[in-house]
Amino acid sequence: MIRPILAGLTMAVAAIADQPTSVTFTKDVLPILQKHCQSCHRPGQVAPMPLISYQDTRPWAKAMKAAVTSRKMPPWFANTKYGHFANDRSLRQSEIDMIAAWADTGAAEGSPKDGPAPIRWPSGRWAVQPDVVMDLPAHDVPAKGVLEWELIAFPAPFKTDTWVTSMEILPGDPSVVHHICFSFEKHKPTTVYNRYEWVQVPRDSSGNPTPGNSGFGELPGMIIATRDVGSTQVNLRQGHATLHQNLDFCYLPGNTYEDYRAWNAGKLVPAGSDIIVSLHYTTNGKALVDRTKIGFTVAKTAPAKKFVVQGAGEDTPVIAPTAASSRALFASTYNPEFAIPPNKSDYRAPPMDITFLKDVEIVTLRPHAHVRGKSAQYKLVYPDGREEVVLDVPRYDFNWQLSYQTSLTIPKGTHMRFEFTYDNSANNPSNPDPNRWVYQGFQSWEEMMAPNLGFLLDRDADVGGLMSITN
Ligand code: HEC
């Protein structure tokens, strides 16, 4: 490992020392931008400026050097000491040195004929060009106030049994979206289409729920609200929600699509299925109308594998029924022991521990916490007692909820342990209020500990009971 790194450094240093003007945009920088930057730095994507042409890029030369040498760009949060990730987009030291050398030597353009051909990106704002697009109804988001998680059902946009091989969500206005998730399920007679449904969580004037009553789980006397698409009238009733979610896929800040094609995998959506969408808006002072689109690629022939998530949903089948306790909700449950004291900068959540009941293959690790989230770690404890950290995120960032793509073959009986920490101090720039206790809840100013996992299974394998909650 040491040799190529040294070789890269020597090359870059040589470039600066011997031929100060030989580093050019077209020959040396553009290939790096195409591979590591343009997925975000192109029109319509999340980054504020394109880095496509020389004219786009030249004014940013110094800022690029600063951003890559500090490893602020590309955004990547896994500690490089642990695990291997197929989607690791961080730069090699030689690439950082190349951008720095370019910025330090006048940021020359070079000859267009030295450069690679431009990448043909998907049209629109898509990251993956979809085969099937579904438009959600326009949704008003007011300037102020608390919007609870709203669930809504539609018929799935496929006529026949369909293997979906990628999923992507394009929110109309990402600035107000905390998450949008969806799952597919068999149509139930109780499911009504085109009607938003949510749990009315009792809140005080500052938007905080009564501890123990955060809307997680089925509490007695819960108030269910519904509203038809296109109507402003809200109907309230006591009882239980008719819609539940399993989170097959989630749009989160920094995590906009999932593509299973590299694993030759997909998700089978039987004909006649419904899609249950969970919408969560956070108001930001500006009233607007959100128009979200969902895009899918579909396979002509069934892929060899299927991709299954352990979401946060109550009926997630990968969790064994023995865990039907409050912990069965895995991550979105209300745990009375989870309580972050005011001004505590390093709160360690009650650790969570699961046991795999079968041999499993895990391909994605996606830690989810809210704005006080500080760090997240996933550790395997093998049946022989050996321990292995498989993901360490020392600086969790709510704006970059990455799905870390790994490949872990895990024998039955292995445990996985999750440790999350939280910063409720005034030093956390995202902290809306360091002076109050924080409990688990749905809103960004409440907290979560959701160590999501994605499994790869043979196409026809049974998804039931892959794991149980041990602690
Ligand atoms: C996953 C998306 C993504 C990728 C990949 C990415 N960026 Fe960015 N970049 C952003 C976003 C979003 C911002 C603005 C917000 C921020 O600074 O975090 C940004 C900001 C920047 C800035 C401005 C920083 C500042 O100080 O204002 C620079 C320079 C930059 N990126 C360079 C790069 C370079 C060079 C690469 C590739 C080596 C890259 N980025 C890859 C999303 C990305």
**pLDDT on residue 359:** 94
At 428, which amino acid appears? N
Is 244 a residue whose pLDDT tops 90?
Answer: no
Render pLDDT for 337-381 as a digit per residue (tens, 0 to 9): 889 999 999 999 998 888 999 999 999 999 999 999 999 999 999
Q: Is 261 helix (H, G, I), strand (E, B) or coil?
A: helix
| 96, 97, 103, 107: CA torsion to nearest 10 | -100
Question: Cis ω on the peptide bond leading into residue 220 (within 30° of 0)?
Answer: no
- 169 - beta bridge partners? 294
The percent of residues above 90 in pLDDT, for the chain, comes to 66
CB 127 within 8 A of CB 39: yes
Across 418-424, average pLDDT: 96
| DSSP tag of 175 | G
205: helix, strand or coil: coil
Spacing, Cα 238 to ligand 1 middle (Å): 48
In whole angstroms, give the CA distance from residue 60 to residue 300.
44
More confident residue, 239 or 260: 260
- Where are the strands (E) in 264-359, listed by range? 265-269, 273-281, 288-290, 293-298, 305-310, 347-348, 352-356
Q: For residue 445, what are its two tokens?
A: 């100013």
State how far Cα 426 lies from the chain centre.
26
CA of 80 to the centre of ligand 1 (A): 20
Ligand 1 atom 12, closest CA = 47
Q: What is the mean pLDDT of residues 210-216?
A: 59
- Decide yes or no: CATH 3.90.1150.10 for domain 305-471: no
pLDDT band at 314 (very low <50, low <70, confident <90, very high): very low
* Pick from 313, 386, 326, 388: nearest CA to 352: 326
Contacts of 35 (CB under 8 A, 6+ apart): none
The model's confidence at residue 468, banded by pLDDT at 50, 70 and 90, is confident
Structure tokens at 421: 């920490």
Q: Which residue has the tokens 């642990």?
A: 82
184: pLDDT strictly greater than 70: yes
Of 307, 342, 347, the residue nearest 453 (C-alpha): 307
CA distance 405 to 262: 11
**What is the mean pLDDT of the segment spanning 137-163?**
93
For 113-127, 194-208, 408-422, which range has the lowest pLDDT when averaged over its residues? Answer: 194-208
Whether residue 311 has pLDDT greater than 70: no
Q: Would you give the DSSP letter of residue 6?
A: H
Atom of ligand 1 nearest to the CA of 64: 29
Report which protein residue has its CA nearest ligand 1's atom 29. Answer: 64
**Ligand 1 site, CB within 6 A:** 36-37, 39-41, 46-48, 60, 63-64, 67-68, 73-75, 89, 91
pLDDT in tens, 40-90: 999 988 899 999 999 999 999 999 999 999 999 999 999 999 999 999 999
Task: Fill in the amino acid letter for 120.
Answer: R
C-alpha to C-alpha distance for 317 and 246, rounded to whole angstroms: 9
CA distance 149 to 142: 15
Q: Does the pLDDT at position 9 exceed 60?
A: no
Q: Which is higher by pLDDT, 9 or 205?
A: 205
Return the ligand 1 atom nearest residue 39 CA.
5
Q: Whose C-alpha lies nearest to ligand 1, atom 13?
A: 47
Ligand 1 pocket mutation pick from 37, 89, 96 by most atoms within 8 angstroms of CB: 37
Residue 28 has pLDDT above 60, yes or no: yes
CA of 374 to the centre of ligand 1 (A): 21
Position 17 scores a pLDDT of: 47
From residue 357, alpha-carbon distances to 256, 383, 415, 440 in Å are 31, 12, 9, 28
Between CA 173 and CA 164 the distance in angstroms is 25
Distance 91 CA to ligand 1 centre (A): 13
Residue 118: the pLDDT is 96
Rounded Cα distance between 27 and 384, Å, is: 51
Domain boundaries, the chain: 2-114, 122-303, 305-471
Q: Which residue has the tokens 């999932």?
A: 258
Query: What tokens does 304 get?
Result: 């060899």
Average confidence score pLDDT of the chain: 87
Position 465 scores a pLDDT of 80
Rounded to the nearest whole angstrom, what is the distance from the C-alpha of residue 47 to the centroid of ligand 1? 6
Q: Where are the beta strands (DSSP E) in 369-413?
A: 373-381, 387-393, 404-410
- Counting runs of H as helices and runs of E as strands, what totals does the chain give? 5, 24
φ and ψ of 110, to 5 deg: 80, -175
Task: Give the span between the Cα atoms of 468 and 454, in whole angstroms.
Answer: 15
What's the pLDDT at 226? 96
Residue 352, pLDDT score: 85
Please tell me if the domain spanning 122-303 has the same topology as the one spanning 305-471.
yes
Q: How confident is the model at residue 93 (pLDDT cuts 50, 70, 90)?
A: very high
Q: Which CATH architecture has domain 122-303?
A: Sandwich (2.60)
Q: What is the amino acid identity at position 184? A: F
Integer Cα distance of 304 and 218 in angstroms:
38
pLDDT of residue 328: 39
Measured between alpha carbons, how far is 470 from 354 in angstroms, rounded to an integer?
Answer: 5
| Atom 33 of ligand 1, nearest CA residue | 73
The confidence score (pLDDT) of residue 217 equals 54
